[in-house]
Amino acid sequence: MGWPVIGESLSFIKEFSSPSGIYSFMNKRQQRYGKVFKTSVLGRFTVFMTGREASRILLSGKDGVVSLNLFYTGQQVLGPTSLLQTTGEEHKRLRRLIGEPLSLDALKNYFRFINELAVDTLDGWLGQTVLVLEEASTKHTKEAEMDKEDEEKLTDKQLKDNILTLLVAGHDTTTAALTWLIMFLGENPDVLQNLRDEHMDIQSRYGGTGLTWAEVNNMPYTIKVINETLRRATILPWFSRKAAQDFKIDGLEIKKGWSVNLDVVSIHHDPEVFPDPENFDPSRFDKPLKSLSFLGFGSGPRMCPGINLAKLEICVFIHHLVCKYKWRPLQNDNAVQPTLVRMPKNKYPIVVEPL
């Protein structure tokens, strides 16, 4: 449990900022205590657990075993009608309404805008020193504006709370994913070449007419690269819940009211599912994985509603990047900033040049 009051917070934060993130922190304690253990971090007594059974309990929403567990600040910022705070039938209704403008059919209407924005953004990168994290963040903020037109069925309060929710939940995660992806491509030239081959083949098919909706939905290797990026980086290292009733897992009694967290990093680095887990290898996704082995977009009733939008943004951006440009990093600092969404601390500075 660590020191009085601060618990293991110092060790947790130190490990969180390391290249391996909280995986080292979790792995040491799992070897000592098992897949489920108690600790005290960031001023909270909490339980961390990992594995497919833990995922089923915490993410399925069944049997009322767990409930949401937002920090007080998050509750105040997002508002009571946010998708992240509502439960039951109201959550289902909000998810359906918010999901409509994020469906594949709706995204077809946004495709041209996203495509043009990607081209313009990369044109601005040419010959410049670019902080990928910062530039990708600006790009994603512009794209988020398009969501504001599609919530006419929500009340003004619901509209405000959920626009903020989409910006908070989708902005940093997509930005971080794109940044890590570009970094991993630079570190793995064979993967980059395979990816470039797929996109050059696509470019040869559409010629001078421009990327089409049909082509952007036919990028199988790119989707594997995205999934491997989300596995390797594990942008959201844990999902937090609160025990709504007493329950038992892996021999440990969990009491009602306890904070319980699903350790996603350890799931994504399980060598039985992902051999040599530190290696960046998109071929891991050549075959279907066991359920709850990969949680890049979460799972269950609170799975990321913007999964299709995130994949569309990244696929379009990566297409134009690898077809027209090459890049080189200016720093090799692997430190990670100590925030909930894992991002390179140095924002991954690169120089972009014509291919």
- What are the boundaries of each domain within the chain? 1-71+236-268, 80-234+300-355
Instruction: Choose the most confident range, by mean pLDDT, from 75-84, 87-96, 265-274, 328-337.
Output: 265-274
DSSP string, 22-40: THHHHHHHHHHH-SEEEEE
Q: How confident is the model at residue 73 (pLDDT cuts 50, 70, 90)?
A: very low
Q: For residues 122 and 170, which has the higher predicted lDDT (pLDDT)?
A: 122
Residue 211 pLDDT: 94
CB of 252 within 8 A of CB of 30? no
CB of 345 within 8 A of CB of 246? no
Decide if pLDDT at 77 tops 70.
no
CATH superfamily of 80-234+300-355: Cytochrome P450 (1.10.630.10)
Question: Is 304 annotated for ligand binding?
Answer: yes
Dihedral pair phi/psi, residue 231, rounded to 5°: -70, -50
Residue 151 pLDDT: 42
Q: How confident is the model at residue 58 (pLDDT cuts 50, 70, 90)?
A: very high
CB of 238 within 8 A of CB of 295? no
- How high is the mean pLDDT of the chain? 85
Read off the DSSP letter of residue 256: T
User: What is the CATH code of the structural domain delimited by 1-71+236-268?
Assistant: 3.30.43.20
Look up the pTM and report it. 0.88
What's the chain's length in residues? 355
